[in-house]
């Protein structure tokens, strides 16, 4: 029988790509989203790619009664939780907004999972939990560091809430996936990253500069102790990242977990500098980008990249899409948004 996966935040950047991969792998998906940080563009793109309507429930996961009734209405075998605020800077000025939303929504899901006698819960965590470590690449055993921001703190706290809930409540099992830097868009260019306002992250700012919506890309810091002086990151293709969720959900629903709470890094294992990313983008898309060096951005770590071997061994997943294709897709998506393609 087909299994049903609830995707909270399924209309967002990562959630929409995960929905596509899940449905293509044979899962039924229910998307629930309150559209607080996105419009319907990606949801429509998902339905266009799949050629059918995917059930969509407009709702807020902070509303406990709404979460309970969702679990009553659908036979949910697994939940993937994306519905959270994610702007690092805003979380510094609005910490309570972040703690309330990101913790409460997740606790409501776990409560409902417990109430129905168990569920498989996948939490979208982040490499931000490692902070700046000198153990590179980072493995899942690398100690977590105190978070630099309330946003980062909510990731660490939700991991702990999941770990403790799994211990206490029969039938609740959990996986936390720690994402490195997800970039790119679906090869169809029908779904992608759609930041509201001025983008904080590198690739959306870069593509908006290339299309002329922003004047100039600032490269934050050229005096870091790295080969070219700019920060090193593990940029992971969004479709590869989405596929990791299919492997993780399948492991859960098929009862193949080794422990009831597991953690996996989702990265490529390859560090790339900010400058290398820019020059590769220019080369593969045949354009010249307007960029300049600017002072370091407070809170940035110098370098972080994954040891993804545990995910390869246990989930059978590894990153496959070449960086060139990822950066072509990021540009195709930006042009699609501008109505140029």
Q: Kindly list the catalytic residues.
A: 151
Secondary structure class of 4 (helix, strand, coil): strand
Q: Using alpha carbons, list the distances in angstroms from residue 13 to 84, 99, 171, 183, 341.
A: 12, 21, 30, 10, 20
Q: Name the one range near ligand UD1 by CB under 6 A: 72-80, 146-154, 187-195, 313-321.
A: 146-154
Contact 71, 65 (CB under 8 A): no
Min dist CB 45 to ligand UD1, Å, is 20
**Could you say whether residue 220 binds ligand UD1 (CB under 6 A)?**
yes
Looking at the Cβ atoms of 101 and 181, the one nearer to ligand UD1 is: 181
Among 85, 205, 247, 281, the residue binding ligand UD1 under the rule CB under 6 A is 205
Q: Name the one range near ligand UD1 by CB under 6 A: 57-65, 241-249, 293-301, 311-319.
A: 293-301
**Could you say whether residue 306 binds ligand UD1 (CB under 6 A)?**
no
Sequence-ordered strand ranges (E) for 204-307: 217-220, 232-233, 235-237, 261-266, 272-273, 291-294
β-strand pairing of 232-233 with 172-179:
unpaired
Contact 259, 309 (CB under 8 A): no
Looking at the Cβ atoms of 9 and 76, the one nearer to ligand UD1 is: 9
Footprint of ligand UD1 on 185-204 (CB under 6 A)? 200-202
Footprint of ligand UD1 on 77-136 (CB under 6 A)? 86, 88, 126, 128
CA distance 338 to 341: 8
**Could you say whether residue 152 binds ligand UD1 (CB under 6 A)?**
yes
Compute the Cα dihedral for 298, 276, 178, 65 and give only its sign.
Answer: positive
Footprint of ligand UD1 on 233-262 (CB under 6 A)? 233
> How many CB atoms are located within 10 Å of the residue 88 CB?
20
Min dist CB 200 to ligand UD1, Å, is 5
**Could you say whether residue 137 binds ligand UD1 (CB under 6 A)?**
no
Min dist CB 102 to ligand UD1, Å, is 12
């Amino acid at each position: 029988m087909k299994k049903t996966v609830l995707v909270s935040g399924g209309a967002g950047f990562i959630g929409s790509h995960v929905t596509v991969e899940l449905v293509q792998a044979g899962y039924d998906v229910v998307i629930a989203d309150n559209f607080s940080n996105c419009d319907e563009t990606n949801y429509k793109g998902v339905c266009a790619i799949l050629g059918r309507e995917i059930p969509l429930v407009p709702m807020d996961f902070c509303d406990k009664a709404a979460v309970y009734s969702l679990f009553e209405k659908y036979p949910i075998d697994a939940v993937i939780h994306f519905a959270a605020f994610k702007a690092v800077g805003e979380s510094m000025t609005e910490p309570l907004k972040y703690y309330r939303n990101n913790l409460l929504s997740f606790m409501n899901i776990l409560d409902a999972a417990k109430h129905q006698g168990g569920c498989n819960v996948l939490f979208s965590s982040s490499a931000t939990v490692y902070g700046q470590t000198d153990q590179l690449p980072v493995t899942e055993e690398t100690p977590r560091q105190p978070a630099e921001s309330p946003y980062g703190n909510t990731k660490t706290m939700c991991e702990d809430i999941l770990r403790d809930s799994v211990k206490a409540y029969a039938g609740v099992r959990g996986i936390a996936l720690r994402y490195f830097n997800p970039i790119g868009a679906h090869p169809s260019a029908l779904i992608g990253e759609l930041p509201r306002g001025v983008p904080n992250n590198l690739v959306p700012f870069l593509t908006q500069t290339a299309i002329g919506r922003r004047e100039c890309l600032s490269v934050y810091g050229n005096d870091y102790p790295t080969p070219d002086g700019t920060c090193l990151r593990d940029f992971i293709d969004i479709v590869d990242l989405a596929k990791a969720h299919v492997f993780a959900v399948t492991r859960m629903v098929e009862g193949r977990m080794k422990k009831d709470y597991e953690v996996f890094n989702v990265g490529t294992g390859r560090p790339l500098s900010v400058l290398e990313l820019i020059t590769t983008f220019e080369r593969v898309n045949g354009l010249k980008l307007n960029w300049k060096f600017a002072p370091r951005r407070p809170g940035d770590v110098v370098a972080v990249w994954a040891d993804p071997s545990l995910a390869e061994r246990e989930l059978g997943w590894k990153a496959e899409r070449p960086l060139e294709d990822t950066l072509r897709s990021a540009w195709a998506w930006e042009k699609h948004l501008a109505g140029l393609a």
